[in-house]
Structures are given as structure tokens and as C-alpha cells.
Amino acid sequence: MVLLLLLRQVSSSTAASLAGTATSRPAFVTARTTDGVAFPRRPLPFFSAIRQEVSYGSGDDGVDGDVGSESALNDMNSEAVDGILPRPRRSKNRFRQHVNPLARKYQAPTPLADDWYRNVFEHSPAGSGAPLIVDIGCAKGNFALEMAGSEREGVEWGGGPSYNHLGLEIRENCVEFAMERARRMDSKNVHYLQCNANVDLERILRSANVSLSGKEGGGVALTHVHIQFPDPHFKKAHAKRKVVTAELVQTIALFMAEGSSVFLQSDIQDVLDDMRSLFRATPWFNDISTDPLEYLGFNPTGVPTEREISVLKKGLKVYRTVMIRNKVEAASI
């Protein structure tokens, strides 16, 4: 009886596999031309890669691009492995993988002083008024630190820090860990906040004096937003817990000027497709690909997250895209 059940399961999985091959597989873009798209005056290094010629691959080849190769992955992270990024002592607290963002304690606004932003970036080598990069769901903050580290080296950035980096994370112990690491590295242009982005993003950006979309003035420019490997929340009952919502997309659009970008990636295709569809459904963002089944086959930032490193080392796929802010104005929610 047990053998019969196993045979039935194998037959079902085989049929599903054959059915999957009959449908069109997603294509992965290893590079993309973006002629005519207005980028920031001093774009991040990855934009030079996006501006190259377009080449396509099936879902079975080229998906991980340059970052996916073992040698490239090792080169990219050799500095961190060699101790350039000093790690604080292991915390006694475990980092929970998932939390319920709808819980009452995560619905309260994050306490912020009136001049918090100027104070935290007062000694930033880029200056408190420098363009801002926001990492939503930054986990333990390694990505922002490595981005800032690449910028300090000035190899591809034209020399010297030009941006401030703000990581947002809902788990308090992750933020404490990230802040301790930033202090040990003396990274004055990196800061982290414990918050629920779906509750507090607009208030945080307003209090940081971030310029509204299309408005000229002396405010801070939000040039890049990264949303990487968010909690998938597979259960239908947990759909309301997703990080990217229509309201979050509208808030991001409200504060981004034309030519700014949102980088999305996940190792789960449905998660990326869901985020992508929410951005594509608005009049404020243009996908770098006209085909929703095309994905970037490389990480355009050049800096992999800890989750990304783990996924790629297992030989799994990562689905990515970049949304470019257009000139259509967005209203406050």
C-alpha cells in the first residue's frame, strides 16, 4: 500500500514537471539598455551594468549571472570573509526569521526626535543633506554596510562617499546588532531604525526632510530603495503581512524623483512577481523589462545580501528586477 502511494506521488510530480516544461519559462536578462531613462547625476556603479546590451537566457542558464559564479561570489565577498567587516560578539538572542507585522507592538509609530536625521548623519562624510539610499527589511544590516564600504573606497564611485544609507527593520534585536556593527566600523553614513515600514515609512521620510517627488528645494533626495528577500508569508491567511503593498508603493513614489530606482529581488518567483505587479500597476514606475517574465540575471548593486549568498551557494535561483520612477506625480495617501 505504501509503495502504491509512493508511485502515485512520483507519477503526479512527473506529470507536473512535464506540464511545467510545456509552458513558457521565465527569461533572465543578464544586462539591459536603458537609453532615455533619467538616472541620478552620480548614479550607483550598478547602473553602468544595466546600460549594457541586452542578452537573454532561459530559466535554466545565466540566471545567477556574474554574482552566481563561485569565483565571482568569492571575489565579491572575500573582504568580508577576511575580516574587513568586523563582526560583534555573537548575541545571546536568536534572530527570529519571521514576525507578525500586524501585532499590536509593531503598529505603534517609532519614537523619533524632531531633528533625529540631522543628528545621526551630522558627522557623515557625505553630509546630512546627501542623497539617501533606503534598505527596507535590512535584517542584520550587512548590505548597507558593504554598500557604504564600496562607496568609501571610491573605486567605482568617483571617490569619496556621496550617499547616506538608512536601513529599516522590524526586528529590534537585528537593529541592535546592525548598529553595534556600524559603530565598530565607524560608518558614519549608515544608520538603522527599528520600525514597521508599512506603518511608518511616510512619517520617517517626512521627518528626514526628504523631498517630495517632482519638488525642487533643499530637501534630501531619495534616490534608491532596496527591497530584498522579504518574508514570503505563504499562507493565504497571512497575505496581509506582506511588506510590499499598494500603499507602500505609493509612499515610495511620493518621495522619489524621476530617474530614481527601486531594486527588488527574491529567491521565490511568486514573491518577486507579486511585488513587481504592484509597482507595474501604478502610473509612477516603469519596469526595466516590458515582459513580466523577464528577470535580471545579476545583482545590479554588486553587493549580495547574506540571504543571497546563501541561496546562490546552494545553486538556487534569484529573481530580480529594477523599477524606475517616472515623472508622473504621486499624491499622499
User: Cell numbers of 58, please?
Assistant: 532561459
Which residue in the block uniquely carries the three cell numbers 564600504? 149
pLDDT digit string (tens) for 296-321?
999 999 899 989 999 999 999 999 99
pLDDT digit string (tens) for 127-169?
999 999 999 999 999 999 999 887 665 544 444 578 999 999 9
Average pLDDT in the 245-252 region?
Answer: 97
Per-residue DSSP letter, 139: T
Q: Are 137 and 243 in contact (CB under 8 A)?
A: yes
Q: Residue 212 pLDDT more than 80?
A: yes
Pick the catalytic residue from 66, 75, 231, 274.
231
Average pLDDT in the 246-264 region?
Answer: 96
pLDDT bin (cut points 50, 70, 90) of residue 255 is very high
pTM, two decimal places: 0.73
Q: What percent of the chain shows pLDDT beyond 70?
A: 64
Least Cα distance to 299 among 66, 99, 82, 32 occurs for: 66
Q: How far apart are CA 297 and CA 305, in angstroms?
A: 16
User: Cell numbers of 293, please?
Assistant: 517574465
Per-residue DSSP letter, 91: P
User: Cell numbers of 253, please?
Assistant: 513614489
pLDDT digit string (tens) for 89-111?
554 556 556 677 667 877 888 88
User: Cell numbers of 233, please?
Assistant: 508569508
Which residue in the block uniquely carries the three cell numbers 547616506? 164
User: Residue 231 catalytic?
Assistant: yes
CA distances from 251 to 161, 215, 284, 285 (A): 27, 15, 11, 12
Buried b (16+ CB within 10 A) or exposed e, 98-126: eeebeeeebeeeeeeeeebbeebbeebbb
For residue 252, the Cα-to-chain-centroid distance in whole angstroms is: 13
Q: Residue 47 pLDDT more than 80?
A: no
What local confidence, expressed as pLDDT, does residue 160 receive?
56
Average pLDDT in the 216-234 region?
Answer: 87
Least Cα distance to 175 among 73, 254, 99 occurs for: 99
Average pLDDT in the 242-254 region?
Answer: 95
Q: How far apart are CA 95 and CA 31, in angstroms?
A: 35
What local confidence, expressed as pLDDT, does residue 46 receive?
46
Per-residue DSSP letter, 220: B
Buried b (16+ CB within 10 A) or exposed e, 74-95: eebbeebeeeebeeeeeeeeee
